Amino acid sequence: MRIHKLFGLIFTFTLCALSPAMAGEDEASDNGTKTVTMDAVTVTATKRDGTLKDFPGNISVMDEMFMETRGVNNLSDLTRFAPNVYVKDTSSGGSIICRGISTIDTSLFSPMGLYVDDVAYPMGYMTNQDLFDVERVEILRGPQATLYGRNSESGVINIVREKPDNDQHNKVLLEAGNYHTARLGASTSGPITDDLLFYRLSLQGYTTHGYNENTLTGDDDVNGKKTLNGEGALRWTPTDDWDITLNVDGAARDMGISSLRYAEGPNSTDRFKVTSNESDKAYEKELGQSARVKYSWPSVDLTSITSHRTFDREHHLDSDRTSTALGYSDLDTDMDSWSQEFRLNSTDKGALSWLAGFYGRYEAIDAGIDFTHVNPLLTSKRSGDSEDLGYAGFGQATYEIVDGLRLTGGMRLDVSHNSGKQTYTPNTGPVSYEKDVDATEWLPMVSLAYDFTNNVTAYTTVSRGFLAGGFNFYSATSEDSFAYDAEHTMNYEVGVKTNWLNNTLRLNATAFYADITDKQVREEIAGAGLGVWKFTNAAEAHTQGVELEGQYNPIPELQLTAGFGYADSKVDEWETTSGGTPVDYSGNRLPWAPEYTYNLGVQYNHQSGIFALADLLGTGEQYFDAANELKQDGYRTVNLRTGYQTEEIEFSLWCENLFDEAYTVKQVKNGAGLAMVEDGAPRTFGFTLNWRF
């Protein structure tokens, strides 16, 4: 019944959209007023150059100018402009939530995939990437198992860097703000030998004290951050048929992670006031190499992507969050990942277009965490590792049955063997165990799209997705609590993409519904003691909602943008225990999944180069626990920016969270049932200089 209601909603919208869209299709400006026409947005989401309407699903695209003008520096900032996409970025890890499909708080992997230049960044800690010197970001909602090498359950974020070519491009970024914040970046790309050999280099450094103060020590940089990241590419085109790119990138991060404070109880503190007797630091190192080789025949391209990535995170954290030296945790997580992808795709413009690919990976993880406490009964150590060997065949084809009517079908076969082992050492002595998590998944998709006019396209898509199982490295105590299996989704989507008023107004709408089975959840181990959890597949859930996006350029100087996403994600069945007492979480909302997101923006560019813009960004209520007792109400922030902009230079003054809206990005209870929270960013302000030459 829920599916029918959503399909009816989008069908009604389509009928309403057809009339004004067709009426405005050939409309001309007869009063002499100058109009602006939005360019067709080129995307590579389907692994073939195309436009937004060629993709049978919901996709948002933000280019370099959009990001620079709004001062977007990382993925978390950018996704606030993408309906129903939310980046969880906390001291305990990261994840990307799309359409209300969230995951376990301490899970190593995200249900939404992240790619940079065709290379997967699989771990949750990698999600909030810096976005310096990026050509565009494509955000695809819904499973993308038949297009991308590594599987993704709820969608894909595809970050695309600009290919170096015969044109010389240089860029310098300088930014400074309050809380002792500064950012400096530089990039250059161009030819070494015209038409043959090209290069790209970029480097960025960032430092901030952050906005938290330790009430015990008086330090005001306890959640500060110092990062250095860089990237280099060498592109070789020996003939018109060959295109070979070698890429290396890396990042080093020194982060203060003292963000968690008590919101109630005797140790409660005010916003941005934390208490810790430990150093609360995290260090991350990330390094990647990749080779992308493309050979073109007259109507077919063959692409090979070989990649290797390593990631290391260490942290030291005051686990009790008080001024008393009671306990602390030390974590060390390493990943070493190799992958190889081959894909063939058609390039001609005939009635049939297709893609076929093969993907293989080897991934090794070492993960350990030590809990040290003044009470020996609460002291423990965990040291484990896993090896994941997987491969997949995938493909997708689109056939134009008649002019404007396209049928798309795809399939993925995904096979994996993941073996893990761990030694758990409580005060009673070490216990060792191991487990295998094997999976074979068939993931089909089918879509039908129809162009009612050149300006109106409607589509419907059905697809299957899954999130792979894994290991509970941080709280397992036995073989039974160590491993968990994959969760699965069946996804239904209908949408319409339109251009109105001589292509000055773009409006897209989508409705979706997803059944989630074998939902990965965290459950207590009855009688095992405080903070001992297992991950299981005990729940069934669903998510449903809508997404609306629009852009309007009534005159060349003025641009209006808007987006709204609603995701009603709820538990259908889940009976478990809490504190040893049976509980039923059926009907509760899934944690870490905002009910809605929205953005509303206005930008004015004067012919002199002076510009001003304002953005209203909203996030709906969300819960942080299965019982729905820890809740953040909906909040909204206002960002302002003004300055001077030409093709070569941009200087701007800015303020984010203008009204200093108070909100939290994490809430959790300690063993005594007292709530602890992490605060969201306060009002920040500063200036930015971008110079291109």
- DSSP states of 228-277 as a string? EEEEEEEEE-SSSSEEEEEEEEEEEEEEE---EEESSSTTB--TTEE--S
Identify the pLDDT of residue 20: 42
Mean pLDDT of 216-221: 94
pLDDT tens digits along 29-68? 444 444 555 555 666 766 767 777 778 889 999 999 999 9
The rounded Cα 650 to chain-centroid distance in angstroms is 28
573 found inside a domain: no
Q: Domain range holding 99?
A: 7-259+284-515
What mean pLDDT is reported for the chain?
A: 92
Q: Is the pLDDT of residue 584 over 70?
A: yes
8-17, 127-136, 195-204, 364-373: range with lowest mean pLDDT = 8-17
> What local confidence, expressed as pLDDT, does residue 687 receive?
98
The mean pLDDT of 195-200, rounded to a whole number, is 98
375 inside domain = yes
Is 569's pLDDT higher than 50?
yes
- Spatial contact of 431 and 448, defined as CB atoms under 8 Å apart: no
The pLDDT value given to residue 148: 94
pTM: 0.92
101's CB contacts (< 8 A; 6+ apart) are 111, 112, 153, 154, 489, 514, 516, 543, 569, 590, 593
Q: What per-residue confidence (pLDDT) applies to 627?
A: 95
**Rounded Cα–Cα distance for residues 218 and 389 (Å):** 48
pLDDT digits (tens, 9 = 90+) for 320-339: 999 999 999 999 999 999 99
Output the pLDDT for position 233: 98
| In a domain? residue 654 | no
- Take residue 114 and report the two structure tokens written for it: 């992240």
DSSP for 342-391, written as a single string: EEEEE-S-SSEEEEEEEEEEEEEEEEEEEEEESSGGG-EEEEEEEEEEEE
What is the band of 530 on the pLDDT scale with cuts at 50, 70, 90? low
Query: What is the band of 26 on the pLDDT scale with cuts at 50, 70, 90?
Result: very low
For residue 230, what is the domain's CATH number? 2.40.170.20
Banded pLDDT at 532 (limits 50, 70, 90): confident
Q: Are 666 and 631 in contact (CB under 8 A)?
A: no
- Helix, strand, coil in percent for the chain, rounding step 5: 5, 60, 35
Give the pLDDT of residue 54.
79
Residue 579 confidence (pLDDT) = 83
Predicted pLDDT of residue 23:
39
CB atoms within 10 A of CB 230: 18
Do residues 75 and 88 make contact, with C-beta atoms less than 8 angstroms apart? no
Characterize 570-591 residue by residue with b for buried, 16 or more Cβ atoms within 10 angstroms of its Cβ, and e for exposed: bbeebebeeeeeeeebeebbbb
- In this structure, the number of other CB atoms found within 10 A of the CB of residue 348 comes to 10
Taking only the tens place, the pLDDT of each residue in 369-411 is 999 999 998 899 999 999 999 999 999 999 999 999 999 999 9
Q: What is the pLDDT of residue 40?
A: 58
- On whether residue 637 sits in a domain, the answer given is no
Give Cβ neighbours of residue 91 (< 8 Å, ≥ 6 apart).
Answer: 257, 259, 260, 282, 317, 666, 678
Query: Could you tell me the pLDDT band of residue 174, with boundaries at 50, 70 and 90?
Result: very high
- Burial environment of residue 270 by CB neighbours within 10 A (0 to 12, 13 to 18, 19 or more): exposed
pLDDT band at 533 (very low <50, low <70, confident <90, very high): confident
**Does the residue 270 lie in any domain?**
no
Q: What's residue 137's pLDDT?
A: 96
Q: Is residue 489 domain-resident?
A: yes
Element of type H or E holding 19: helix 2-23
Give the contacts of 133 (CB within 8 A, at least 6 positions apart). 161, 162, 171, 185, 187, 202, 204, 231
Measured between alpha carbons, how far apart are the two ends of the chain, in Å? Answer: 58
Sign of CA dihedral 141, 142, 147, 153: positive
Give the angle 228-123-232 at the CA atoms, nearest 5°.
40
Residue 618 lies in a domain: no
Q: Is 512 exposed, middle or buried (0-12, 13-18, 19+ CB in 10 A)?
A: buried
For residues 441 and 153, is the Cβ–Cβ distance under 8 A?
no
* C-alpha 3: how far from chain center: 26
Paired tokens of 154: 């709820």
pLDDT average, residue stretch 307-313: 97
What's the confidence (pLDDT) of residue 36? 52
What was the pLDDT predicted at 425?
Answer: 96
Alpha carbon distance 150, 152 (integer Å):
7
| Residue 609 covered by a domain | no
What is the C-alpha separation between 629 and 632, in angstroms, rounded?
Answer: 10
Nearest one of 670, 662, 692 to 272, comparing CA atoms: 662
Does position 1 have pLDDT exceeding 60, yes or no?
no
pLDDT, average across residues 130-145: 94
C-alpha–C-alpha distance, residues 131 and 73, integer Å = 5
How many domains is the chain partitioned into structurally? 1
Residue 237 pLDDT level (bands cut at 50, 70, 90): very high
Which pairing describes strands 610-619 and 596-605: parallel, antiparallel, or unpaired?
Answer: antiparallel
pLDDT top residue among 404 and 4: 404
Residue 319 pLDDT level (bands cut at 50, 70, 90): very high
Q: What is the pLDDT of residue 93?
A: 83
* Beta bridge partner(s), residue 364: 336, 387
